Amino acid sequence: MPHNQPDASPAIEHRTIEVIPDAERHGTPRNQFTLWFGANMQITAIVDGALAVVFGADALWAIIGLLLGNVLGGIVMALHSAQGPRLGLPQMISSRAQFGVFGAVLPLLLVVVMYLGFAATGTVLAGQAVNKVLHVDNANIGILVFGALTAVVAVTGYRLIHMVGRIATVVGILGFGYLTIRVFTQYDVGAVIGAKPFEVATFVLAVSLGAGWQLTFGPYVADYSRYLPRSTSEQATFWSTFAGTVIGSQWSMTLGALVAAAAGKAFLGNQVGFIGTLAGPSAIALLIYLVIVVGKLTVNCLNAYGGFMSILTAVTAFNGQSRTSSAARTTYIVGFTAVSMLIAIAASPDFLNNFKNFVLVLLMVFTPWSAINLIDYYLISRERIDIPALYDPDGRYGRWNLTALACYVLGILAQIPFLAQKLYTGPITELLGGADISWIVGIVFTAGIYYPLARRTSNPPDRMIYPADTVKSTARA
């Protein structure tokens, strides 16, 4: 089969954190568009857009701010995606080139916590939609059914995840298109557009909500582009990913902003139920609930699959392995999914709200990581990585890269005065009228201190170095 033709067969994936040989590469950048578009056509993105209005922004300025944030965050996210075809590696393995084989475990642990949180809270919403479809009242049933679906798709792996993304794209366009029409026919949307004056603080909040949404994809986005043929254009990968994630998220968030402005806070009290009511007749509402389940399934599989990759990357840093068995792979994914389900079942609504706020605070750890990873890959190493050394603590990248780790910690600390979260509001944030610009500080400050230091201390190879077995596979391909 030609490498540029995707195989529709959802065979169980056997690769994990090792390099994908050229003989097993397949797909086109178009697959990145459908995956990320489908993953963003989901109810949590609607809630994210609604928050901008609930916190005081005018609907029009909220939509513009969300768009700006999605574009800025989408650029960073898509730059990570463009690394996939050339490296053939999961995203967080490449962090060892910056932080060292052991040092990369620090951001990895935080990544796992964040995706576990997103998986748990997403499972609650999706479980509600499953209950509506099955006409049952026991919340645990919906959570268990959705968790089982997530585990099956994530265990099957890369091909099936992309297939679900294509399905989510189609049903998302139909379902969200219908809901958008319903908002305009059921509410006087024109009356809430431009009803409030422009405010800097709420506009910046909207920008931050959009950018923060995109930045959370950074630690695993290349996991889903790593199977593309090595000859795939970086520009094509970038633009396909960028377009999918920005268009999908902006559509969902715009819908959320309009719903919040037109219907008030009723939506946030019962998101799934409100969407069903908005859909109208019960038969159509049932279809919309299915749309919600498919959209959440897509992104929840990304959380489970990415969480598994991150756990495995952390574990193998110390046991020296570069691959694992299918049984171990399944155990990791099922275990991750089971923990997220237990949190979803056991947690009270208050706990989930607090946990989501904790997860949002964790976003501050990803902007410095993104800055270091992108600066090193594109400007310092210039796309030249010694891949075998990523698995060798005594190799080129060593155990700990103190320069990168110090810049990473300083990048986190620099954001604290600028935070505007429920758990903590920084003093400079108060001077700015409540505007949260911590993510901008995290990227700019970290890049500013890391680049000059890395130029002096880094030792990249003069060319991309692949493992011997990959070279042999390339010769046979």
CA distance 324 to 304: 17
Residue 64 scores a pLDDT above 80: yes
pLDDT attached to residue 352: 57
∠ Cα 311 316 318 (to 5°): 115
∠ Cα 415 418 419 (to 5°): 85
CA distance 429 to 32: 36
Q: Is the dihedral of CA 333, 334, 335, 337 positive or negative?
A: positive
CA 467 vs CA 20, 22, 52, 404: distances in Å: 10, 12, 47, 25
Average pLDDT over residues 369-388: 94
Residues in the chain: 477
Domain limits, the chain: 22-354
pLDDT digits over 217-251, tens only? Answer: 999 999 999 999 999 999 999 999 999 999 999 99
pLDDT attached to residue 233: 95
Q: Does domain 22-354 bear CATH number 1.10.4160.10?
A: yes
DSSP string, 233-293: -HHHHHHHHHHHHHHHHHHHHHHHHHHHHHHTTHHHHSHHHHHHHHH-SHHHHHHHHHHHH
Q: Residue 161: which pLDDT band, with cuts at 50, 70 and 90?
A: very high
CA distance 163 to 169: 10
Q: Residue 9: which pLDDT band, with cuts at 50, 70 and 90?
A: low
CA distance 125 to 463: 47
CA distance 23 to 16: 16
Q: What is the pTM of this model?
A: 0.91
